[in-house]
Structure 1
């Protein structure tokens, strides 16, 4: 089996590659990434790319039909990945998250790729009161990021051919990573608890968030990359998470505070209404992928974050302005003249370079 993972050098990618290598030790696994966050390592175990057979440094906007020859599965993780970045780089978000993803999917289909996996998001439901949202319910994207996910899903649904396509609408990501992000709600709360001894919720705490650990996201991607079309259909949209993992934001904060002695929680009841609040029904995923259901509890995600940050000696009270926030990293690269405003490298960065596994290990 030969697998391509775009965006493998982000937050979720290392967990995906670790899972795939463990499950398919003889598979040929390639990474494809622009390298914006390659230096944002939060592990003491070495480069996660050591598990790959080849790391390709290039922009997903440059992928050609011939680049996809011979792959059995293509996993689309590459994205401008969160709402603040989507607001700051709205045109790039559309170009990378949607236009490039659709272009790669078309090329993959033409190249005879068997399975395509697109990392979508439950944020497409926007503000959704009432019962937990199912896949057939209306979407209500409130941000450029969410809109790009909806646009890609719609374009993929119209793609002809035999390729099995799976759009995984993930719950909100959380948990430790070899390239940790602190611009995610649970991760932010743990960082606040450790560095400040308090969690300040920038809302009244009532918005709903379904949560999923990066390890469980990798488990779902493994399933989608290998599922036969008979299991769910040639084109499938499925919510990925667990019904019991729908939490209010204040519940997340309290779970973190309970794990960090002396930590307090405060609410901002005067804050504007959150643009995302949704409970999600994950029953379809449970039916289709019973052997790949989430296994990491909220408490475990919190403990692993605490352990990971503690091992790094983390104590930065101003972490929201640090390189652990992806938007800050991009701003710094632009300020240094290494990236342009359309997020293309201008100097000092790899372009169209492939590094083989033996070179990474060396």
Structure 2
């Protein structure tokens, strides 16, 4: 049952990131008052399109230092914070644990203590690791990376907090794709589109037989807003796989090639024999689709064309912040252990 719209304040943690910039804009459009909290490692300019909105308050704060005051007058928290992929997490495991586990759990506990009634956490389908079966929410979690291990531990700790006064859910997000104001070219669909535009070919590492689930970044934001407009009894205390499709890397590469062929751009696929990411999992999204009416609407084919043409005409800018690992490496080299401080 959909809830009637009402005046609510949403705190978005990680608001300056790949998903967060979309969620800020879309939530403002829905009439929410927004507190956008981030450490803004990638720059406050990522929120420029929303910055002048009268119902937006930007908070430059580390998730590890949030207090009850941070959550004052907040009705909803959406937690998007964290170092965002496997190789970036491996750069400094201590830093990763500090942010991706300790910081996120601290945030959830503090939000509950402050009386926040609704909390949405972003987890990841990477918790499934490698499996030869289609994974649903009851499947064993077998994390094969520090990033996925931290997601698994966060799930365990925060779901223990859920009760009648603290409605909490988590999305196990699929691999995201799509354009964002904090653009990422370390995601498979996005990087293939970039390589096609730069080089005229795309690379597949290994055999390309690794399976992955996928979803557009805007669909993640829209799904979040959708469930928040439903009665919490439909989602509190439960985790949901969120995605649009599951494909192997070969199929993704062929989809990219065919999409660009449709606009007159011939693309070749090159196979590179080397060690590949050990993650390999197909995912079921039936639980979410059975429970809610929301359906993902963005297609990989259309996104590939949008990224390719956006790069060609200059509407999408490639800059250092598009590459998560290299950018975090530069931050660690510049600031060292001070990144561990709140």
Q: Do the structures match in fold with TM over 0.5?
A: yes
**Structure 1 residues 250-329: aligned runs within 5 Å:** 250-260=250-260, 261-268=265-272, 270-290=273-293, 292-312=294-314, 322-329=320-327
Q: Taking structure 1 as the reference length, what is the TM-score of the superposition?
A: 0.85
Question: 1 CA distance for matches of 2:338 and 2:230?
Answer: 36
Alpha-carbon shift at residue 117 of structure 1 (Å)? 0.5
Q: 1:340 aligns with which of 314, 328, 336?
A: 336
What does the per-residue CA deviation read over 1:176-220, in whole Å, with 9 as the maximum and x for residues that have no partner?
A: 001101011111101110001111111211101111001100011
Q: 2:184 aligns with which of 181, 189, 210?
A: 181
Deviation per CA, 1:312-338, whole angstroms, max 9, x where unpaired?
Answer: 27797xx8xx44201212222344x3x
Alignment pair present for 1:97 and 2:93: no
Q: Which residue of 1 aligns with 2:211?
A: 208
Contact 2:9 2:73 in 1 (8 A): yes
CA distance in 2, matches of 1:71, 1:182: 33
User: How many residues in Structure 1 have an aligned counterpart in Structure 2?
Assistant: 329
Which segments of 5 or more consecutive residues in structure 1 lack a partner in the other structure?
A: 346-350, 352-362
Instruction: Evaluate the alpha carbon distance shift between residue 14 and residue 313 of structure 1 in structure 2; reply closer, same or farther with a 3 A threshold.
Output: closer
**Aligned pair partner of 2:223 in 220, 233, 241:** 220
Q: Residues 283-319 of structure 1: CA distance to partner in whole angstroms, max 9, x if unpaired?
A: 00101221x2211111122122223323327797xx8
Give 1:155's aligned residue. Answer: 157
**Structure 2 stretches lacking a partner, 5+ long:** 1-7
Secondary structure at 2:105 match in 1: helix
Query: 1-side partners of 2:200 and 2:312: how far apart?
Result: 14
Quick check: 2:50–2:56 contact (8 Å CA) kept in 1?
A: no
Instruction: Give the C-alpha shift of residue 55 in structure 1.
Output: 0.5
Quote how far apart the aligned CAs of 1:65 are. 1.7
Distance between the aligned counterparts of 2:228 and 2:300, measured in 1? Answer: 26
Instruction: Quote the residue 2:138 is aligned against.
Output: 136
Maintained 8 Å contact 2:95/2:340: no
User: 2:13: which partner in 1?
Assistant: 6
Residue of structure 1 in register with 2:3 after alignment: none
Q: TM-score, normalised by structure 2?
A: 0.90
Cα 1:341–1:184 change in 2 (3 A) is: farther
Matched with 1:358 is none
Query: Which is bigger in relative contact order (C-alpha 8 A, separation at least 6)?
Result: 1
Cα distance in 1 for partners of 2:81, 2:56 equals 19
Q: CA deviation at 1:103?
A: 1.0
